[in-house]
Every structure is written in C-alpha cells, then in structure tokens.
Amino acid sequence: MPAPKLPRAEILQWLSDGLTQAQVVERLASRGITATQTAVSRIKVTYGDQRGLTPGVPRTHFIPWKLEPQHRSRYAAQMLRALDRVQRGEELSALQARQLRNWVGSMNEDNLSIDYDPASEAGFIKVPRREGETLVRYPEGVAAHV
C-alpha cells in the first residue's frame, strides 16, 4: 500500500508561518500522520516557490542578510538561528542551549559583534563591537532587533 499523501498546502502554510521542518513533522504526528523531515524538505523545495519559500535557510531577525549557500551551515549562522528561536519562546535542546550560552558569553566577554561578508570564505566575521552595537552588526539601513 502506498504511503498516504501529505497535506502539502498545510505544510507550506506552516512553513510560511515560520515553523521549522521539525515542528511541521511534530504537528503532523500529533494528527496521526507519519512524515519525515526529508519529506517536508522535499515539499518545500519542490512547491515552496509558490509561497515565497525558497530553498535554504530562512532569514531571522539576527540574520538580515541573504546567505550564500556555503555559509548557511556555519556555526555563527546556527547560533543566530538558535538565538532567534529563543527570542520567539521556543525551547532548545540542552546541547544547543549550552552552545548558545557559551557563544554569546564569549562574544560579549570579548566585546565582539558578528558581521557577514558574502565574498569571504568564512562568511561570518567577528568584529570589534562599536558603541551602541549589539551581538550583530546590521547592514546599513537595517534596524537592529537584538
């Protein structure tokens, strides 16, 4: 028997609303629908452009830049996405929470901000924090959300 079809329109709506792929899988499971994160990702990649969901990592308040594909999985990007989840009231795993606490603590202790240079190999660059600046050095014309 073939696997049941996933509710594509609902999945795309949930992703548009900001749910992560893992949260979509959990929501489907709560309705008795078994799905994998890979299946949700395929729906996003295949049909997401219809809703403005382009493949890749979504921007957050802390990542106002369009990230180059090679920079999307960098540690700084992971930490900024985790920080965004915390700000939205979501829970992190114990490991993620510890990593975020250590990373933010180190950045604050060293008085650094994170900047993004899409042309560089590293992408994210730690820079000395300017007066009034927070954890993120926002591009000109972008309001800080931290």
pLDDT of residue 93: 85
Three-state DSSP class for residue 140: coil
Q: Which amino acid is present at 55? A: P
pLDDT of residue 115: 92
pLDDT for 14-45, tens place per residue? Answer: 887 778 888 899 999 999 999 988 888 888 87
Q: What percent of the chain has pLDDT over 90?
A: 32
Higher pLDDT, 64 or 36: 36
Mean of per-residue pLDDT scores for the chain: 82
d(CA 33, CA 36): 10
pLDDT at 57 over 60: no
pLDDT of residue 50: 53
**Token couple for 65:** 């830049």
Higher pLDDT, 39 or 49: 39
Domain coordinates in residue numbering, the chain: 8-51, 59-146
pLDDT of residue 75: 93
Q: What is the reported pTM?
A: 0.61
pLDDT at 52 over 70: no
If 0-12 CB within 10 Å is exposed, 13-18 middle and 19+ buried, where does residue 81 land?
buried
pLDDT at 118 over 80: yes
pLDDT of residue 46: 76
pLDDT at 146 over 50: no
- What is the full DSSP assignment across 45-99? HHHGGGGT--SSPPPBTTB-SPPPGGGTTSHHHHHHHHHHHHHTT----HHHHHH
**Cβ-contact 136, 125 below 8 angstroms:** no
pLDDT for 88-112, tens place per residue? Answer: 888 888 899 999 999 999 999 999 9
